[in-house]
Structure 1
Amino acid sequence: MSHKLLGLPYDDWIDAFLPIDDSEVDYTKYDRLFDGVVIGEKESEMYEPLITALNDTDILGDFVLAETYARYDKSDSSKKKADGGMYPKGSPAIKQKRTDWATVEVLIECKTNDSGDPYDERTSSGVPFAETRRDALGQIMTYASTVFEYQHLTHHFGVVILGSRARLGRWDRSGIVFSSKFDYKEEPDKLARFFWRVAHATAEARGHDPTATRVLRGSADYKTLKAWKTKKLAEDDYVARRFVRSLNADRPWWRLRVTDRKHGTKEFLVGQPTFAAPGVVGRGTRGYIGLNVSDRHGDNPFVYLKDCWRVEHERTQLEGDILSQLNEKGVTNIPTALYHGDVGDHRTISQDFCQCAKAGCVSEVVEESEEEVVEGEAEEEISDEERDEEVDDTDDESENGGVDGTADESGDEMSDATVDEAFGEEEAETDSNTTTTDESQTLATSRCRMKAHRHYRLVVKEVGLPLQEFPCGRILLWVVRDAIIAHEDAYKKAKIIHRDISVGNILMIPPNGKNGKTTYQGLLADWELSKRLDDYQAEARHPDRTGTWQFMSVHIQDHPHAQVEIADELESFLHVIIYCAIRYLPHTCDDVGSFMYNYFDDGVRRRQPEAEYTCGILKGYVMDKGTIVTSERVPVTFLRSPPIADSKKSSRNSKKRPRPPPPQPHPINRVLSKLFPMFSARYRTTQVQSADPLDAFDKGCPSTDTLRPSQQQEQGESSESLKTHSRMLEVLYMASEEAASLWPGPEDRMPDQLKPNFNPNKPEKTREKPTTSARVGDAEGEPSSKRRRGDASQT
Structure 2
Amino acid sequence: MSHKLLGLPYDEWIDAFLPMDDSEVDYMQYNRLFDGVVVDGKESDMYEPLVNALNGTDILGDFVLAETYARYDKSDKDKKKADGGMYPKGSSAIEQKRTDWATVEVFIECKTNDSGDPYDENTLSGIPYAETRRDALGQITTYASTVFEYQHLTHHFGVVVLGSQARLGRWDHSGIVFSYKFDYKEEPAKLARFFWRVAHATPEARGHDSTATRILPGSADYKTLEAWKAKELAEDDYVARRFVKSLTEHRPWWRLTVADGTHGKKDFLVGQPTFAASGVVGRCTRGYIALSVSSGHGDSPFVYLKDCWRVVHERSELEGDILSYLNGKGVANIPTALYHGDVEDHRTISQDFCKCAKAGCVSEVVEGTENQIVGQDDKEKSPVEEWAKAADENLGKVPGGTWKATGAISSGPNYQSRESQYAERSNDLRTDVVDGNLTALRCRMKAHRHYRLVVEEVGLPLQEFPCGRILVWAIRDAVIAHQDAYTKARVMHRDISVGNILIIPPNSKNKKATHQGLLADWELSKRLDDYAAGARHPDRTGTWQFMSVYIQDHPESQVEIADELESFLHVLIYCAIRYLPHTCENVGDFMHHYFDDGVRKQETDYTCGLLKATIIKNGELITRSHVPIIFLRRHQASPGDPDSQPVESSQLLKKSSNLWTKPATVSKTDRHPINRVITSLLECFAARYSLLYPKLSEEYASEDDEDFPNAFSFSKALGGDKGALRAHNKLISTLTSKLIESHIHMIELLSTASDEMAHRWPGPEDRLADQLDPGFNPSKAEKVREKRAAPAAKPGPQPASKRPRSTTLAADPGEQPASKRLRGSASRG
For Structure 1 versus Structure 2, the TM-score category normalised by the shorter chain is: 0.7 to 0.9
**What is the CA–CA distance in structure 2 between the aligned matches of 1:131 and 1:534, rounded to whole Å?**
46
Q: Find the partner of 1:600 among 573, 595, 598.
A: 595
Question: Post-superposition shift, 1:605?
Answer: 1.8
- CA spacing shift, 1:362–1:449, aligned 2, 3 Å: closer
Provide the residue aligned with 2:203 in structure 1: 203
Provide the residue aligned with 2:162 in structure 1: 162
**What is the CA–CA distance in structure 2 between the aligned matches of 1:549 and 1:658, rounded to whole Å?**
41
1:342-375 superposed Cα distances (whole Å, 9 cap, x missing partner): 0000011100000014634799999538997454
Q: Find the partner of 2:675 among 640, 646, 669.
A: 669
- CA spacing shift, 1:686–1:780, aligned 2, 3 Å: closer
- CA spacing shift, 1:386–1:643, aligned 2, 3 Å: farther
Question: Post-superposition shift, 1:644?
Answer: 3.8
**What is the CA–CA distance in structure 1 between the aligned matches of 2:306 and 2:255, rounded to whole Å?**
14
**What is the CA–CA distance in structure 1 between the aligned matches of 2:35 and 2:741, rounded to whole Å?**
72
**What is the CA–CA distance in structure 2 between the aligned matches of 1:39 and 1:345, rounded to whole Å?**
43
Provide the residue aligned with 2:618 in structure 1: 625
User: Which 10-residue stretch deviates more, 72-81 or 295-304?
Assistant: 295-304
Provide the residue aligned with 1:737 in structure 2: 755
Q: Find the partner of 1:537 among 528, 532, 535.
A: 532
TM-score (norm 1): 0.85
1:778 paired with 2:797, answer: yes
**What is the CA–CA distance in structure 1 between the aligned matches of 2:723 and 2:29, rounded to whole Å?**
79
Name the SS for the 1:93 alignment partner.
Answer: helix
1:491 paired with 2:491, answer: no
Question: Post-superposition shift, 1:237?
Answer: 0.3
Written as runs of structure 1 = structure 2, the 5 A alignment for 1:256-267 is 256-267=256-267
Question: Post-superposition shift, 1:686?
Answer: 1.9
Question: Post-superposition shift, 1:194?
Answer: 0.6
**What is the CA–CA distance in structure 2 between the aligned matches of 1:118 and 1:241, rounded to whole Å?**
43
Alignment check: 8 A CA contact 1:541 1:561 kept: no
Alignment check: 8 A CA contact 1:508 1:520 kept: yes
**What is the CA–CA distance in structure 1 between the aligned matches of 2:131 and 2:311, rounded to whole Å?**
31
Written as runs of structure 1 = structure 2, the 5 A alignment for 1:353-502 is 353-357=353-357, 359-360=359-360, 368=391, 373-376=409-412, 377=414, 379=416, 437-440=435-438, 443-444=439-440, 446-502=441-497
1:134 paired with 2:134, answer: yes
1:340 paired with 2:379, answer: no
Provide the residue aligned with 1:20 in structure 2: 20
Name the SS for the 1:708 alignment partner.
Answer: helix
Alignment check: 8 A CA contact 2:145 2:279 kept: yes
- CA spacing shift, 1:87–1:685, aligned 2, 3 Å: same
1:316-362 superposed Cα distances (whole Å, 9 cap, x missing partner): 00000000000000000000000000000001110000001463479
1:198-246 superposed Cα distances (whole Å, 9 cap, x missing partner): 1110000000000000001100000000000000000000000000000
Q: Which structure is higher in RCO with an 8 Å CA cutoff and minimum separation 6?
A: 1
- CA spacing shift, 1:141–1:488, aligned 2, 3 Å: same
**What is the CA–CA distance in structure 2 between the aligned matches of 1:775 and 1:33, rounded to whole Å?**
43
Alignment check: 8 A CA contact 2:111 2:163 kept: yes
- CA spacing shift, 1:528–1:363, aligned 2, 3 Å: closer
**What is the CA–CA distance in structure 1 between the aligned matches of 2:230 and 2:527, rounded to whole Å?**
47
**What is the CA–CA distance in structure 1 between the aligned matches of 2:762 and 2:643, rounded to whole Å?**
24
**What is the CA–CA distance in structure 2 between the aligned matches of 1:705 and 1:51, rounded to whole Å?**
78
**What is the CA–CA distance in structure 1 between the aligned matches of 2:278 and 2:324, rounded to whole Å?**
28
1:525 paired with 2:491, answer: no
Written as runs of structure 1 = structure 2, the 5 A alignment for 1:63-212 is 63-212=63-212
1:269 paired with 2:269, answer: yes
Provide the residue aligned with 1:749 in structure 2: 767
**What is the CA–CA distance in structure 2 between the aligned matches of 1:703 and 1:104, rounded to whole Å?**
74
1:510 paired with 2:505, answer: yes
Alignment check: 8 A CA contact 2:285 2:308 kept: yes
1:682 paired with 2:675, answer: no
Question: Post-superposition shift, 1:438?
Answer: 1.1
Q: Find the partner of 2:628 among 635, 641, 648.
A: 635
- CA spacing shift, 1:135–1:384, aligned 2, 3 Å: farther
Question: Post-superposition shift, 1:688?
Answer: 2.8
Question: Post-superposition shift, 1:778?
Answer: 2.9
Name the SS for the 2:436 alignment partner.
Answer: helix
User: Which 10-residue stretch deviates more, 596-605 or 740-749?
Assistant: 596-605
1:75-123 superposed Cα distances (whole Å, 9 cap, x missing partner): 1111101101111111111111111111111111111111111111000
Provide the residue aligned with 1:9 in structure 2: 9
**What is the CA–CA distance in structure 2 between the aligned matches of 1:87 and 1:581, rounded to whole Å?**
45
Q: Count matched residues.
A: 714
- CA spacing shift, 1:315–1:686, aligned 2, 3 Å: same
Written as runs of structure 1 = structure 2, the 5 A alignment for 1:237-316 is 237-295=237-295, 299-316=299-316
Alignment check: 8 A CA contact 1:481 1:733 kept: yes
**What is the CA–CA distance in structure 2 between the aligned matches of 1:235 and 1:65, rounded to whole Å?**
47
1:125-181 superposed Cα distances (whole Å, 9 cap, x missing partner): 111111111111111111111110000000001111111111111000000001111
User: Which 10-residue stretch deviates more, 140-149 or 680-689?
Assistant: 680-689
**What is the CA–CA distance in structure 1 between the aligned matches of 2:171 and 2:740, rounded to whole Å?**
44
**What is the CA–CA distance in structure 2 between the aligned matches of 1:61 and 1:300, rounded to whole Å?**
45
Name the SS for the 1:42 alignment partner.
Answer: coil
- CA spacing shift, 1:109–1:683, aligned 2, 3 Å: same
Supply the AA of the counterpart residue of 1:596. M
Supply the AA of the counterpart residue of 1:352. D
1:683-721 superposed Cα distances (whole Å, 9 cap, x missing partner): 11223389999x99xxxxx99999522221111001111
- CA spacing shift, 1:80–1:389, aligned 2, 3 Å: farther
Question: Post-superposition shift, 1:10?
Answer: 0.5
- CA spacing shift, 1:382–1:509, aligned 2, 3 Å: farther
1:40 paired with 2:40, answer: yes
Provide the residue aligned with 1:213 in structure 2: 213
Alignment check: 8 A CA contact 1:684 1:705 kept: no
Structure 1 stretches lacking a partner, 5+ long: 393-433, 697-701, 765-773, 783-795
1:584 paired with 2:584, answer: no
Supply the AA of the counterpart residue of 1:685. L
- CA spacing shift, 1:273–1:477, aligned 2, 3 Å: same
Name the SS for the 1:537 alignment partner.
Answer: helix
Q: Find the partner of 1:718 among 719, 722, 736.
A: 736
Q: Find the partner of 2:726 among 669, 687, 708.
A: 708
**What is the CA–CA distance in structure 2 between the aligned matches of 1:166 and 1:756, rounded to whole Å?**
35
**What is the CA–CA distance in structure 2 between the aligned matches of 1:621 and 1:744, rounded to whole Å?**
30
Alpha-carbon RMSD across the aligned residues, in angstroms, is 3.1
- CA spacing shift, 1:595–1:44, aligned 2, 3 Å: same
- CA spacing shift, 1:775–1:295, aligned 2, 3 Å: closer
Name the SS for the 1:86 alignment partner.
Answer: strand
Structure 2 stretches lacking a partner, 5+ long: 365-386, 393-405, 648-665, 703-719, 783-792, 802-829
